[in-house]
Chain A
């Protein structure tokens, strides 16, 4: 019997999906409108542009519905988009500029729809000057307006006008079945939410992705399947019932590598296996809480960390460490990490007891030495290669310097217990999310132990589902999470940096908009952000401004960057080959990234 009823296994790619709660919903534009990770936006939605987080330079940029890059006017108050021709919705209706205009206007008219708010804030008017041209007039100058339509993970997807026009309330319309603008369309789904099956469109050539292909994609069906808890996922992949896994613990990954070695592929050919996402797990300080407003305290805490243990404990050594406040992935390597090595090596920190040079560029070799006993020859000896696997460097653990810094900040030590300037013991509650991001929880317990051993009693607080809310609400002392995410495939840091402007910082107790969760406030930072707004997305100044920010962040240590968020995402090669990898990063590797579609159409049947 077939594993999937009526569908030949060799025509289907099975991807790990979530358990969808409202499985009957396919309205991407309504809040909670259908699971976002079950293929709906990954396989059926489309918009103007894509950036591949693992790509570099021009290779990272893809024109999807747009035929070219965005065209801004002089002062960035107007953006013109040219659309490709010959693209059709899956029900045979042609895609035109009217769909775009409808998308923007409908969402502005319906607060609560997914992109309603950003459109309302930015757009004064939108019009289709002809069938293939859309012109946006903006409320204020915005050189990054196009990013609203640029997919890294997702973006503002274009709505089918001819469908939604018929609908009374676009917010409560379930859009079932959805018409597709991309190469796959809905085949069937489980009303209990455990699986959705997408099928290659017969007219797959009439899509932005299909147009670029020379022959038909071999994957006929894409199955998003919720295969259960991490153990079950590993088992299912070893049983060849799950081709793509997203996120499992390092140990699960190692198990697959050990037991199913021949039938699997990973981002790196061997250890450390993982795909580094362009997100930057860091130790976040709440700057609105004493004593974390003090840069010396933050630096002291950073210098108390032995990053090697953190790497070993969280990722079993398979972490891609980051000393700079941007993830060491995609173009960031060439744009920032390589050029800034010298500056980092010479960076001096005044501890109040003399200056030190805290940077240790040999960290990747040290980690290699630590994992060698387990992985042996699969660990290369070339230091350049090691840097790409384990990171370029990090701060040396330096308790003496930390002591000096703390004393400089007015702290004193009583036995093995640090006292705050007011004489009370310095204790920390370190918040982690827990289950959802186990590696970070693990990192948290190690850092807590290191701080505790140095006289700062630290307990780990698992926030679980309240994590996001508590981070946003400023209801934490210290947390491990990410406040930095980047395009990966582009040096521009506005993706996160824009929201770091002091204009957006909230009073304690109020909810901070996403990204600047530490509520870091600095005039120099504001200046960088304002400068960045005025330069063009592709201008070389962007990288320059990025470096300014990174230097500032090293000096101030507003949060302690730890590593890229490494995801273990092994692929089963029993049925499909040609997966992306570090050597051939033609697409991101996570099944929830919308540019996964470029991987799916590129896969080849194994037999």
Chain B
């Protein structure tokens, strides 16, 4: 298959996440809560690869990606596991070496948070943000730097005069593009993005996706991004990871995941996507989303799974390698493709 052949070799892995557990640990006046938002996730991302993460609302996607970006603040804490980058042979352990991590930010690694429309300082003009974030990494004179930024903005269809604006003077779409520009202007090796296109309407969304893809191709960067819009994954991701209740339940090349989902949850997800020209009734997933503070035993999907058997209730399926990807399901073989 085309996609399978394209999958890069594992030797040039850029990000390695191993056994990562990140929990929200809260203790308010004696009320203790532990939300296991990221529960034992391992994944690897290769050089020059776009990796998409999908999953239900509140399944822990943002938490996972925040943990990878080293952007966690209490109450979210890393309980176990490691996140390691490899920038051109330079190993960087996100949680072991905060100093090096700080140095790598924007230089090697940039991050676009969820709700990125609000990350610009409301009382300063946009140009200052570029200056603060990027100037020191570029080693350019101020005027050269400015020229570079303007050129970069033009590439994503923004007029340079937006630099002189205050954030509130710009539309949501423009701000979202600005943050993408901000995250890419230094041409980092690795970009982490959380729902970068959610606030955009379909027309703008298309532009932005094209932009991300373009940047990635030209800079040869790796990207990991989250969205629950499956069509976005379809459009740009090389590989997809599906998260359910804090766990990675399936992972594989995009085409395979769409065409031959291995996990019942993935299968349901894909089959519930409506498309124009087809209004055949689509069913919703029964039951309610799991509570991450008190997740179901065994396979976390079992209460809602049409294929669940006793084993699913009791034993947690490991994420096992399959033909083209990995899947965590006792009954993976029996999943019907939509």
Q: Per the CB under 8 Å rule, do A and B touch in the complex?
A: no
